[in-house]
Amino acid sequence: MNALLKITYFNLNNLYGLCFQRLSKKAIHHFLNMQPKIKTSIEKKLIGKKIKMSLSDNKTGELWRSFMPSRREIKNNLTTELISMSIYDPLYFKNFNPAAEFEKWAAVEVKDFSIVPEGMETYTLPPGLYAVFFYKGLNTDHSIYQYIFSTWLPASVYLLDDRPHFEILGEKYKNNDPESEEEIWMPVRNKK
């Protein structure tokens, strides 16, 4: 295999607008050895903040800067993990456009919705099948998504499902640190 591999992305593969991205041989080897665990998620109750954004007008930092100072007001957390969730229109991936808006959440999982702090909202994440990728690296390095959408998903026995996508940011998550770790949960369904 050459030291660099040129990958062309269209529609679904263009998720992060990374046309003709070059991946190093090391990155290719790393991702080819990365197989997700297929898990069935139970229903999750979330409390957090949301914002409408697009990839070309990314407001993720603004969302988290708004959420983090007030997250301690949430008293019925189930864990200390943070959840970054994206909710896309059903046609989002069929007609990919980096300017298309979607809903982005910064949230935590809670026992119930009995206490919702002012300025926060609730969301019930439905149960379903997910491909869970364990990622280590910078949160600004989107090559993991290149691998998922252009290599793993087409070669798998799954299709992308129309449910929220989310990342679990646990104790090993460190914003913008190459040693950071997170779980990427991609909604999938069996190919018919």
Residues 101-150 pLDDT 10s: 999 999 999 999 999 999 999 999 999 999 999 999 888 888 888 899 98
Which residues, including other chains, have CB under 8 Å from residue 166's CB and lie 6 or more apart?
Answer: 83, 84, 85, 86, 125, 185
pLDDT at 143: 87
pLDDT at 12: 38
Q: How many domains is the chain built from?
A: 1
Residues 9-42 pLDDT 10s: 333 344 443 333 444 555 555 555 578 999 999 9
- In whole angstroms, give the CA distance from residue 67 to residue 48: 7
Structural domain of residue 47, as residue ranges?
4-190
CATH number of the CATH domain containing 98: 3.20.80.10
- Mean pLDDT (whole number) for 71-98: 93
Highest mean pLDDT among 40-54, 130-144, 163-177: 40-54
Say what the pTM is.
Answer: 0.82
- Helix runs in 14-109, H state only: 25-32, 60-67
Decide: 70 and 88 in contact? Cβ < 8 Å: no
Q: Residue written as tokens 């914002």?
A: 51
Count Cβ atoms below 10 Å from residue 38 Cβ, excluding itself.
13
- Mean pLDDT (whole number) for 145-174: 93
* Alpha carbon of residue 75 to chain centroid: 25
Which residues, including other chains, have CB under 8 Å from residue 125's CB and lie 6 or more apart?
Answer: 41, 43, 44, 45, 46, 85, 164, 166
Count Cβ atoms below 10 Å from residue 83 Cβ, excluding itself.
23
Count Cβ atoms below 10 Å from residue 28 Cβ, excluding itself.
19
